[in-house]
Structure 1
Amino acid sequence: MEAIDYLRDEIKSYFTESSELQLSSYYAQHRRFNFYFKITDNYPYLLYLNWDGEGNHFTLKCLEFNSCEILDTLIGEYPEKGAKSFNIGRPKLMVDFVYRDQDRLYVTEYKGGIQEQVQSNEISRQRLMECVDPAK
């Protein structure tokens, strides 16, 4: 799907040190709705992009973990265990949105400290990334 590929590329572009986590070949054969991104080394945050499986509705979350070491262990387990590896992560920031076009995203829900910072439901891809950036 064009929107998923676009959003995955945007995450990698905004978070320049990020890397998308890959599943083992067993899981890779299944249709994917969840995508995880390590933001950078020695950082207790992980990005999670979820597609609802139909249409253009997405959720982008920044998950927080107790320590970098715990997150590194979970990342190591992810290829074989899948998404359940990250269930202990706490949502720090979240944007639920509809992809309308490459720079037209319609936000349906915010969670975290970002809600007061956003004045409109329609935001750009740059603003979306800023909303889930734990360093902002």
Structure 2
Amino acid sequence: MSLLRLLRGSQTILSRAAKSSKIYTTRCQSTSPQNSYTLPDHPEWRAIFPTSPSIVRDRVSLANPETADALAKGILTGEEIVAGTNKIPLAEADPRVTIVPMSGFDWDTYQYIEKQGLLNDVETIPWENGGKSIRLPFRHAEL
């Protein structure tokens, strides 16, 4: 859940869409006003927190903290996955990573990357080729 705010016995969910700067609000009835600071059981969420596909279409969320932890451990490796004092900057953790402090939307960034020699191992193909016969260094697995 992004943000949870309680308003006079009803709960309001605020969420920010991934591709938008708009904040969407969903109002719903509280399950019990005297115990309004705890979330209801997960199976009751759809009934209590109604939403529409257009609001949550671009939002990724996990309701179960154990599932989120298991997913993070399955995707990430190393001791730096656990938040805390042992965080390691990505550039220090892997020598293949180079942080470029420039915008990826600016063409000057790519000229900078080329001058730094970060693209030396990338095969260049002339524009005249029209993108034909591009050999990619991987294959799709057969089903």
TM-score (norm 2): 0.22
Q: 1 or 2, which has the higher strand percentage?
A: 1
Larger-gyration structure (1/2): 2
